[in-house]
Structure 1
């Protein structure tokens, strides 16, 4: 055969998994950060944004040292004075105030000694235009090492070093990307983190199914019905909200629906009873309230999209212009 090697299913699986890993949010974030871009991981609740950021941070620390990552979480009260610089009480001289660098300038100073990763969780919960101030210009890749002066220190030249890298996370249920300040959007690369139904079969310590219910199918069904009642893709349910330990029980799954999924959908739909009954059939009353007594595994089985029955060897598996799609129950073997 002239030394020709036949491609095996295992080869195809290895290539496919390597491609998926290359395209994963942590991998893409690492690639963009390495070339000097600022990065934001964005998506609905529970899609693994913070986890992906911490994966990147852990690898960064392993390469550059334990003090090379600085973490901060934005919130509505977060200000320019917290992030850039502001006057703070002098602990040594009560009654006096001294100009104190904020998190960004502290990180910039540290980055002059070693490559530093600044991780900003929930970046869109603050008024980012006010928090960043003039720094929105100088964090840009081609503006690094360009001198600037702040209002508080008009005679002192400062610069953001090339060694400072910024990685943010953004929950699109709080505010969509389109509502962010345009100047901020231009200075970050945005990595989409949509719900990932394959995570139940691949994540360590997660159950793939509970009581015969494949969680990938359950998630797909819920998000499909959300789309059906007009909810946009930035307000779906992430896989982490249905995550159950590998040795989890039916009770664990029911708790996920009661305490994680139902409250989020109630918020998305503003308590609209009719739409909530469509998205969560069988467990919501005419007022939109959860009926805990009706929340059973049997009801959840009814939420799973119907799958095509297996056909015999002689039957047509697809229509002429239609490909068969693997269900959640078959997804773990679909690459083989």
Structure 2
């Protein structure tokens, strides 16, 4: 039995036992495959059951010259998880990654868009095309609901509960949550869904998928990235943005307007409140206002 067998077994464990998404499983597997490629290129013939700390350390030294500290830390974490799985299944008794430390990384927050910048991006959409109405609805949904791009492209018509004011989102690990949706976002989705989408030749397997490409299939995440980057270029926006920038802006703007962290956590679908805090880029002026408005001794 070789590396492929154990990787496949590990993938099944991540998907079935831990309930991780397809994208997450792919990312975990990619790190192990990079180790396999290193072994192959250096003619090191060793199985995942016999590989030792010295060999793994050689790989970490090799990879550190190619990736930044954050990526290196992720690779180390992924490999630790893989070997921990092998121990869990009694394939081996020790973890060769046990003494290998991850490099220290700083938390880098993505750029936040101002409301004017978001309005400018949406205003730049060409609404004379069928794709224009779809793109406006997508950007309004990204910003209005704080979705991940993977959640956006997999959103289904049957997930829309407009009468109740919510949409159902299937997030990481196939965990479902209900996110409130504003009437303005509902309006643009309805315009696209009722007036534009019916004109697209929908493929049978995507009959319930809300946002479709021109061939009637599901949009890719890369396509949403391209749409947003083209709009940014069009308005001369200097910031480096992505679909995730809308999610970050959603959380930041809510906090700045008085929303509590716990509510934002639930809408974003974070298991830990600590994760939510990473998205919230707070300036000192805002924190001072919070203290002055909320502390019981503010007027003493």
TM-score (norm 1): 0.24
The structure that is helix-richer by fraction is 2
The structure that is strand-richer by fraction is 1
Flag the structure with larger Rg: 1
Indicate the structure whose relative CO is greater, using CA pairs within 8 Å and at least 6 residues apart.
1
